[in-house]
Structure 1
Amino acid sequence: MNLLIVEDDILTAKQLLKLLKAEKYSSDIAYSYTQAKEYIDKNNYALVLLDWNLGDGDGLTLLKEMRNAEIATPALMLSANSEIDDRVKVLDAGADDYLCKPYSNIELLARIRVLLRKGSQEKTSLITIGDVTLDIVKHEVFVKNNLINLTLAEFDLLELFMKNKNIVLSRFQLSEHINKDNYSIKHSNIVDVHIKNLRKKLNIKDFILNIRGIGYKINQSS
């Protein structure tokens, strides 16, 4: 994971770099507002550690510019400004967390871990295979950026397929996933009906393959 440290005090920035390196994080240092903008424009970061007061600008302005540009990288503001109003300003501007200086390294690392987990979870809410993108959180499916309307059962089946893209799933496994009444569905063709409708709505040839005598699987090459 690559982090960006935005801090105009050289000693503080190098101490942060040493701390993060010890925790196996890869980090860049921007010593100014201008340099930070250049780094953010050129690179993707898992997290930005942002000082409020910079020599040629301020972290709050930089944060607002990031969010206005729809850069959703988690940001942790580090500042000596401890007033409640200041913290509210930072959070309203789009910061994910705020830590007052001086701070404990143990607490800083804990806050970093929380934000990195949050960022990772948000990224994994999207699953994409070929032209199909499924958003687990928003419960939406897109084919080539076109929203596809699926029933709850169709969405659940597609989600299961896309989470198990290398695995052939039996009809019974698929039935069990969409209907907990196992006894009544053992010999039902309900899965075949849902998959037929799902294929029609996705309209992608051979996206869901029928494995004769076993079940179905996603065709990653489609």
Structure 2
Amino acid sequence: MYIYVFEPRAGRRDALLAELRGVRMSPIVVEEAFFASDLSILNRKGSDTRAILIGETPHLAEHIRAIRAAGCRNPVLVMRDFKNSRDASESLNQGADDVMVSPIKGIEIISRVNSIIRRSYGHAAESVTVGEVTAYFDGRDPQVCGERLRLSRREHAIFQHLALNANRVISKAAIYDAVYGMDDTQPFDKVIDVYICKLRKKIGTAADSGHQYIETVYGRGYKFGTADDDHAEDPAGDIVEMPRGRQAEHAASARA
């Protein structure tokens, strides 16, 4: 899980990054300029689950307003040095989702982020069950027919995004952005097809029915659901087109 981190104090930042990496989060350190940049890119499906963690700064309220003014619904968590009800209230009123008081443990951050994300996708509970598969939103591997299905880190990230959008089609570009979008070295997005095949095989092998639960909706993307859910989705579902830059890459690759 990617998370943007703004903490101007180097000592605190290093300790925070270690905490985040310890719970398998992928922190991306940002500077003040981040909040003055084009934040609308975070509105893309796959990028909207990246939390933004903001430390103490005189410009805290401005940063929160900039994020929300860009239409971003990303989880925004504020880190305070001391408990202060008035300051916490102001941050929440500006659009922050949560306020935490240092020192902060990584396990608490990831739990709070997961809680915000699942509610934003309409999941009140910690899990969603689709047929024989139970997907958890707290970092645990899914269960199939009551047994844990062990997934690699990449498989888990892709499956998590499918589960958040259970019974809805999600484009391959959105999955790619959620898993690889901020990597310095991005693989060609055919890698998503490879991981989808691995997930299908694992789920189908573990399921008593043999059903693989991840459907390819040609020309649109993938859907995590049961065979009975084929007509349950809104035809105008939550589909995100591939960004133009990526389209150009695909076109060039196809001609090669």
Q: TM-score, normalising length from structure 2?
A: 0.44
Q: Determine which structure has the larger strand proportion and give its number.
A: 1
Q: TM-score, normalising length from structure 1?
A: 0.50
| Larger gyration radius, structure 1 or structure 2 | 1
- Of structures 1 and 2, the one with the larger relative CO (CA 8 A, separation 6+) is 2
